[in-house]
Amino acid sequence: MRVVFLAPIYPPEMIEYTRGLAEVGATVYGVGDTPREALPAKVKPYLHDYLTVPRIMDEDDVMDRVTAWLRGKSIDRVLANWEPLVILAARLRERWRMPGMSSDTVKGFRDKQLMKERVAAAGLRVPRSRRVRTETETRAAAEDFGYPLIVKPIAGAGSANTYKAEDASELDDILEKMRGVGEASCEEYIDGEEFTFDTVCIGGKPAYENVAAYLPKPLEMRSVESCSPVIITVRDMHQHKLQGGVALGRKVLTALGMGDGFTHMEWFLTPKGEAVFGEIGCRPGGAHIVDQMNYTSDIDLFREWARVSCWGKFEANAPRKYNAGIVFKRAVGQGKITRIEGLSEWLRICGDAVVEEKLLRPGTPRRNWKHTLLSDGHVLVRHPDWATAHRMSFAAANGIRMFAE
């Protein structure tokens, strides 16, 4: 099994997917714009060969370079798990006439307006939305939908550059911020709790499923610096409260023609108990959610994704043992981290429930919290009891403080 894997080291978790491919017997040909000599030592044992391209986002150029590089070789799969490259992977598959989702199918997971139209055509509940390219079109959509409303890039990832407008004045401010965005989706704001529906699929059918709760909703995580974002996987994802979302997610996969691989969907549970579609990607979720799923089930989904992608099999036993909560911290102040308060006490209280503590250490420059949900590091706990996992997570959110100057 010879596999082309696009961007095998970026984002950094892609190294784990590269490892997974090698461990299930794939011969991995990596393609990226990182120079060969700058590849991390840990990824090199998993790569059979590697091509450096000038710009990984230049699809036509990459296709020509990779085709020339591999001329005369037999390639079985082209894979990508980073959102901006999923269409490039599909185009390469089409050029080389190999198995996998087409570029049109993948576009349904990438273009947020087309995505909603295809999901709505299957009779599923989606927010009212419209593709907008100008300020005039955006204001017209706002007049039709009313406030509050959401404006976000058509091809965005996660909640980056996503804004909520409560009135026309706030919309004016948002339009100023989005002047560099060519296309956007203007849509109805859905009030309610927000969850994920994550899968590893074989032929569009989930071989593994996961639900996680966003606490608070991602839009607030991205807009309030003092917030410590919390995400908790739900051990009992088949409880009555979540069944509408799970059923919705499975139908969305069918509506969009999902094939093999990871999906990451976000959905809303309204106060009336209605499950409403948010958006979906045909790739794994970011912000360490695959690590959380691994801790939830004591599994290696990096390897199981690779097995599914190469051989169409999911072999691991994956019971849901734990609720796994990750807490991202943001320091107060700018510059370098100077001190951390409350960590030792929190570690003492939580004991063996703590499975990761990766906060930035004093002397390390702060990360830009607007650019990455990872912020200034994280802690991760797991526990079989939801209330206990929730309490421990929010003890970290409220009790651990980081400072910078």
What is the residue-wise DSSP string for 321-366?
--EEEEEE---BSSSBEEEEESHHHHHHHHGGGEEEEEEPPTTSBP
Q: Does residue 292 share a domain with residue 208?
A: yes
CATH number where 275 lies:
3.30.470.20
Last residue of a domain, one of 284, 315, 346: 315
The verdict on 290 and 332 lying in the same domain is no
Q: For the residues 271-285, what does the mean pLDDT come to?
A: 97
pLDDT of residue 370: 86
* Domain co-membership, 290 together with 210: yes
Q: Mean pLDDT throughout 195-216?
A: 97
- Evaluate whether residue 217 is within a structural domain: yes
**pTM listed for this prediction:** 0.94
Tokens found for residue 371: 């650019």
Whether 105 maps to a domain, the answer reads no
Q: Is the pLDDT of residue 213 over 80?
A: yes
Burial of 193 (0-12, 13-18, 19+ CB in 10 A): middle
What integer pLDDT is reported at residue 156 of this predicted model?
Answer: 65
Nearest to 191 by CA among 166, 160, 168: 166
* Whether residue 198 is found in the same domain as residue 310: yes
pLDDT at residue 62 greater than cutoff 70: yes
Domain presence at residue 109: no
Q: Is residue 333 part of a domain?
A: yes
Looking at the structure, do residues 310 and 332 belong to the same domain, yes or no? no
Instruction: Looking at the structure, tell me whether residues 9 and 87 fall in a common domain.
Output: yes
Which range marks the domain in which residue 66 is found? 2-100
Residues above pLDDT 70, as percent of the chain: 99
One domain, residues 184 and 198:
no
pLDDT tens-digit profile of 214-250?
998 888 888 889 999 999 999 999 899 999 999 999 9
pLDDT > 70? residue 369: yes
Is 8 exposed, middle or buried (CB count within 10 Å of its CB: 0-12, 13-18, 19+)? buried
Report how many domains make up the chain. 4
Distance of CA 309 to the CA centre of its chain: 18
Task: Provide the pLDDT for residue 180.
Answer: 80
148 and 232 in a single domain? The answer is: no
Which helix (H) or strand (E) is 382 found in, with range?
strand 377-383
Average pLDDT, the chain: 96
Last residue of a domain, one of 282, 315, 348: 315
